[in-house]
Amino acid sequence: MKKPNYVKISKYVKFFYEGNREMGNRLRVFLTREQDKTLFNLRTADVPQKVKDRAEVIRLSAHGWYVEKIAVHFNWTAQTVREVLHKWQA
């Protein structure tokens, strides 16, 4: 079995890639407890729905959801979900 690859993005966030060329790669965000709590609290904050959705996408990824499952949940394309996750690293 192939070992997963961790790509350290910052001091707090890592992306997780797993798989091979034929099956594609898994993209996953890792959050600190504090980051997760902050993103969770955005659900009830007075911010645009777009911000709430993006925060939830990041949290779902951190909680182990696959990009494709998140895309179905939000009725988005997988590419849109990937873009949100990649923007989180910036």
Residue 9 clears pLDDT 60, i.e. is over it: no
The predicted structure's pLDDT at residue 25: 61
Sign of torsion over alpha carbons 9, 15, 20, 23: negative
Domains in the chain: how many in total? 1
- Is the whole model's pTM more than 0.75, yes or no? no
Percent of the chain with pLDDT over 70: 71
pLDDT tier at 10, thresholds 50, 70, 90? very low
Candidate from 3-7, 31-35, 80-84 with smallest mean pLDDT? 3-7
Q: Find the Cα–Cα–Cα–Cα dihedral 35, 38, 39, 45, rounded to 10°.
A: -170
The neighbour count for residue 20, using CB atoms within 10 Å, is: 8
Residues in the chain: 90
| Domain with 34 in it | 5-89
- Report pLDDT digits (tens) over 30-71: 899 999 999 999 988 999 999 999 999 999 999 999 999 999
